[in-house]
Structure 1
Amino acid sequence: MTARAAAAVLLIAAALPGLARAACPGNTQIEMNDCAASAYRNADAQLNAIWPAARAAAANWGGDGMLLDAQRKWIAFRDAACAVEAGQYQGGSIQPLVHAECLRRLTEQRTADLRGLLPL
């Protein structure tokens, strides 16, 4: 990687929300992409773990159907939003990292939102 390309990657990475937080180690783009994908899978597992409790909490007031509908719409939103965010890097080696980071960030936020539905 040339110095110019490395500087461009650093500038892009600095501009990506939450990328530093994900703290993916790696010396190659492939390693960083794999790490970001793993971080997303972990976030998705956390969301899936809290889902049954959130749905049960919503069922207590008759809102489980509304929550399921909202979750389906949120998934469509997440996928579309992350496609747009990563789309500007179409064809570039950083695109998978940007896409996975977006999925992770939005999934973690949704998990926090679902936790808010749980009784105290």
Structure 2
Amino acid sequence: MMQPQLDCEDPVTQLDMNICSRQEFEVADKALNEQWSKVAAHKKSNDESALKNGVKGGYFEILLKSQRAWIAFKDRHCDAVADAYRGGSIRPLIYNDCRTNLTKQRTDQLQKMIEPN
């Protein structure tokens, strides 16, 4: 038996909203990963150029540390935001919305590391 297609433009139940919010986060996370690949390659290129000029690089290492810190922040922050709804059926929606919003912001921040304006 086929499952009915979920309409995320107009979800009806809380479960539908939770599922749609998870899907929205997955789209944002994919965009973040694509941007990460671009900025990581850019920083690695900066490291190579620096080494050729006899200067210490470290651009990628700093980026990697900042990304790991950001991931930890995002996860803990969104846990804290959603914690007010602990035990409630809306908690996954609040958690996913928080992660989606922060992920979109981070994607924008990473893009600006390559294209400042």
Where on the TM-score scale, by shorter chain, does this alignment land: which range? Answer: 0.7 to 0.9
Please identify the structure whose Cα radius of gyration is greater.
2
- Alignment correspondent of 2:90: 94
Q: Secondary structure at the match of 2:69?
A: helix
TM-score (norm 2): 0.79
Equivalent residues, number: 98
CA deviations over 1:39-67 (Å, ceiling 9, x no partner) = 00000000001111101222215310000
Matched, 1:75 2:71: yes
What is the CA distance between 1:25 and its match in structure 2?
A: 2.2
What 5-or-longer segments of structure 1 have no aligned partner? 1-22
Identity of aligned residues (%): 39
Q: Which runs of 4+ in 1 moved over 2 A?
A: none
Q: Secondary structure at the match of 1:68?
A: helix
TM-score (norm 1): 0.77
What 5-or-longer segments of structure 2 have no aligned partner? 1-7, 48-56
